[in-house]
Amino acid sequence: MAIYESEITQFIRELKAQKPYLEAEQKKGRALLWDKTPIELDEAEREKASRIEQQAYVYANK
């Protein structure tokens, strides 16, 4: 009994066979853009409290 495999799955298998480094590069890219260190809530609150309000249009004449 043959198990059905879509064309997309076949393409991905062939691509991974041709370029075995592809998955490592994907993980490296994800780490660069998405995987961030957790935010310290106390530090975030201090930063928020220490911000100076900026007027809506900074080039307006006073």
* Residue 2 domain flag: no
* Residue 60 domain flag: no
* Residue 43 domain flag: yes
pLDDT digits 0-9 by tens, 17-52: 999 999 999 999 888 888 888 888 898 899 888 888
* Residue 45 domain flag: yes
Q: Alpha-carbon torsion 18, 23, 29, 33, what sign?
A: positive
Tally the domains of the chain: 1
**Which residue range(s) make up the domain with 19?**
7-50
* Cα pseudo-dihedral 16, 20, 26, 28, rounded to 10: 170
* Residue 62 domain flag: no
* Residue 28 domain flag: yes
Predicted TM-score (pTM) of this structure: 0.47
